[in-house]
Amino acid sequence: MSAKYVFVTGGVVSSLGKGLAAASIGCLLESRGLRVNMMKFDPYLNVDPGTMSPFQHGEVFVTDDGAETDLDLGHYERFTHAPLSRDNNLTTGRIYEQIILKERRGDYLGKTVQVIPHVTNEIKNAMRKVSSNGADVTIVEIGGTVGDIESLPFLEAIRQMRQELGRENTVFVHLTLVPWIAAAQELKTKPTQHSVKELLGIGIQADILLCRSDRPLPRDMKQKIALFCNVEEKAVIGATTVPSIYEVPLRFADEGLDALILKYLHKVAPESDMNRWKDLVHRCYNPRDEVSIAIVGKYVEYEDSYKSLKEALTHGAVSQHLKLKVTWIEAEGLESKTPDDKSYESQLEGFDGILVPGGFGKRGIEGMLNAIRYAREKQVPYFGICLGMQTACIEFARNVCGLKDANSSEFDPASQHRIIYKLRELLGVEEMGGTMRLGAWTCILQEDSLAAKAYGGATEISERHRHRYEFNREYEALLTGGGMLISGTTPDATYVEIIELPGHPYFLGCQFHPEFKSKPLEPHPLFREFISASYKNRQARLASESVASEVEA
Ligand code: GLN
C-alpha cells in the first residue's frame, strides 16, 4: 500500500498558526485510530535553529535524539504521538549541506547539480524516510508563506509527490486569512483567492482551505470561496480564533475536516473518539480557581521563546481545574542597585509560585538570584529549569554557604568558586559550538525525594537536555552540608540532574527541560506538583490575609 500524505501550506501572511493546524489534523487522524507521523520543512538557510536567537525564532524545541528543532515540533508532540527526531525537521540549510557533501564526494558522477531534480529529490527522500516507519498518514508542513522565493523547492517537491503518488494518496491543505474589514463591516475573501491562485501558478490546486478569521464564516462566504478557489464547499473549513489552542481540533472536527481528509485519501477508519480532548477543553473553560506564577527570565517580551514552558504550566494547572495566570518578569529589572537594596521584593509579592526558566548568557543573572533568594526565604514554591537550577545552586552557595563569589564560569570565568562549570574546562579541552549536552539522558532518582514522589515513586526517568554547563561536584559536600539535597544524577553519577531543598514547601531545580515532554493529556509530574504546591501556597496566603483583615476590622 502506498504511503499517504497531507501537505500543509500557508498563504497571505505568516503567524496564522500553520503548525497548530497541522498538529490538530494529526490529533484528529489519531482520534480515528490512525498512526500519524509529522514533519516540517523550514525554508531558511540556517542548518538548524540551534544557533538562532530566541527573539528571532522563538523556542528551540529538542527531541529525544537531541535534534534542535522548530517550535512547531512541540505542537506536534503535544497534539499527537508521532515519533519525532532530527528526520522530522529539515531546513534549506540542512538539505543543501547534504547535497554539497555528496557533490564533494563525487556522488553525482560529474553531473551538473541543480535545484530540480537534486534539491527536490533530496526533499522527497526526506519525506519518504519519515513516512516509511509505518505511519498510515504523514503530515508535512511547509514553513513560510506561499509566494516566498525560499519555499519554492519545497512546493515543487510536494507537487511532484502528487504526480507520483496520485490524488488518492495526497491532500493539499492550505491555510489562509479571511480578514474582517471594519470600514466595510465585512469579511474579505480576496486575499484567500490570491493565495490559492499563487499556489495554482506553481502547479498545486489546494484541496482544502482552512480559513482563519476572527469570527465565524457565514455559509455564503464559504460558497463564494469554494466557487472562486475551485474547491468543494465543504472543503472551505472555518478556522475561527478560539480562546484555547486545545479547542482547535474540536472545531475542525465540527467542520468535518477529518472525514473530508479520509475521503480524499480513500482511507476507511473507525469513528472518531475525542472525548478526552472535550474533557480537557471543558476543564480549560471551567476552572474552579486560579493560580498565579511569576516567570523570571530574559526573553520575556517574546512569549514564543518559552512556548513549551507556558504550555507545560497550563497542562499542570488545567489537570487540577485551575486557570493559569502567568506574569513575565524581566530578570534585569530585579537587580539590586546596592548590596542592601531589596526593592525588587515588591515586584515579587503576591505570586503563588516563582519559576526561573532556561537561558544563556550573563544578562539578568543577578535579578534571577534575587528572585530565587526571595522564594527560598519566603517559602514560596520555586521551580528552576536548567539555568534556573544553576542559579538556584549559586544563590544557595552565596547566601547559605557563605561563598560570596560563587558563580558559573559562563558568567564569570575568573570566579574562584565555580559552582557551575564545564566539565571539559577541567580536562583542558578547548571547545567551540556543537558542545551542548543535548537530548534524552537517563536520571536516577533518590528514593523518597520530592522528585521521586512527583514521578510516582519511579527510580529511573529520562528527560531532555540543552545546555553546556553543569553542577560542579567538588562543591557538593558544602552545599549538601548547608541543607541542599541532590535527588537526581546520571546513572554514572557524573552529572547532577536535580536539586531540592527539603523543608521548603517546594523548591526544585532540574538540569533538564521537563517542559519538552509535557502533553495536555499527560501533564508532566514536575509541573503538576509545582502547580499543586503553588496553589496550596495561594490558599494559605489568602486564608491568612482574611484572618488579618478580620483582626483589623
Ligand atoms: N546557559 C546554561 C548552560 O549552557 C543553561 C542553558 C539552559 O538553560 N538551557 O548550561
Per residue, what are the HEC states of 443-480? Answer: EEECCCCHHHHHCCCCCEEEEEEEECCEECHHHHHHHH
Q: Of 30, 59, 497, 515, which residue is the catalytic one?
A: 515
CB atoms within 10 A of CB 458: 14
Closest by CA to 296, choosing from 323, 334, 350, 324, is 334
CA-based nearest residue to 251, from 217, 222, 220, 225 = 217
Kindly state the average pLDDT of the residues 433-451.
90
> Has 97 been annotated as catalytic?
no
Whether 189 shows a pLDDT value over 50: the answer reads yes
Confidence tier at 15 by pLDDT (50, 70, 90): confident
> Which residue would you say has higher pLDDT here, 481 or 544?
481
| Pocket-forming residues, ligand 1, beta carbon under 6 Å | 358-360, 386-387, 410, 466-469
Distance 396 CA to ligand 1 centre (A): 18
1 pLDDT band, cuts 50/70/90, is low
Q: Give residue 332 CA to ligand 1 midpoint distance, Å.
A: 17
Q: Are strands 382-385 and 353-356 parallel, antiparallel or unpaired?
A: parallel
Q: Residue 306's closest CA among 84, 518, 25?
A: 518
Q: Is the pLDDT of residue 425 over 70?
A: no
> Which 3-state string (H, E, C) describes 304-316?
HHHHHHHHHHHHH
* pLDDT score at 246: 96
The pLDDT of residue 130: 96
pLDDT, one tens digit per residue, over 326-352 is 999 999 999 999 888 999 999 999 999
Q: Check residue 432 and give its pLDDT.
A: 46
Residue 468 has pLDDT above 70, yes or no: yes
Whether 141 sits among the annotated catalytic residues: the reply is no
pLDDT tops 90 at residue 173:
yes
Ligand 1 atom with the shortest distance to the CA of 359: 8
**Would you state the pLDDT for residue 431?**
46
Q: Which residue has its alpha carbon closest to ligand 1 atom 8?
A: 358
Contacting residues for 518 by C-beta, under 8 A, at least 6 apart: 78, 308, 311, 312, 315, 316, 524, 527
Phi, psi of 384, rounded to the nearest 5 degrees: -110, 125
Q: What's the pLDDT score for residue 113?
A: 95
**What is the whole-number distance in angstroms between the Cα of residue 389 and the centre of ligand 1?**
9
**C-alpha 509 to ligand 1 mean position (Å):** 13
Domains by residue range for the chain, with CATH: 5-279 (3.40.50.300), 287-540 (3.40.50.880)
408: which DSSP letter? E
The residue whose CB lies within 8 Å of the most ligand 1 atoms, and thus the one to mutate among 356, 407, 437, 469, is 469
Give the pLDDT confidence of 360-391 residue by residue, as tens digits.
999 999 999 999 999 999 999 999 999 999 99
pLDDT tens digits along 137-146: 999 999 999 9
C-alpha cell at 457: 515513586
- Catalytic: 315? no
Question: Taking a C-beta distance cutoff of 8 angstroms, is the pair 80, 36 a contact?
Answer: yes
Atom of ligand 1 nearest to the CA of 469: 10
- Max mean pLDDT among 19-28, 44-53, 293-302, 417-426 falls in 19-28
pTM over 0.85: yes
Confidence grade of residue 187 (pLDDT, cut at 50, 70, 90): very high
Residue 91 has pLDDT above 90, yes or no: yes
Strand bridging mode 186-187 / 180-181: antiparallel
Q: Which residue has the higher pLDDT, 57 or 324?
A: 324
**Cβ–Cβ < 8 Å for 72, 40:** yes
Residue 354 gets which letter from DSSP? E
Per-chain mean pLDDT for the chain:
94
The pLDDT of residue 434 is 55
Overall average pLDDT of the 255-279 stretch: 96
Task: Tell me which DSSP letter residue 519 carries.
Answer: B
Worst-scoring range by mean pLDDT, 3-7, 247-251, 540-544? 540-544
> Would you say residue 552 has pLDDT above 60?
yes
Give the model's confidence band at 428: pLDDT under 50 very low, under 70 low, under 90 confident, else very high: low
Give the model's pLDDT for residue 427. Answer: 56
Candidates 27, 284, 386, 401; catalytic one: 386
How far is ligand 1, taken at its centre, from the CA of residue 548, in Å?
42
As beta bridge partners, residue 309 has: none
What φ, ψ does residue 350 adopt, rounded to 5°?
Answer: 85, 5
Protein residue with its CA nearest to atom 7 in ligand 1: 358
Choose the catalytic residue: 27, 513, 524, 529: 513
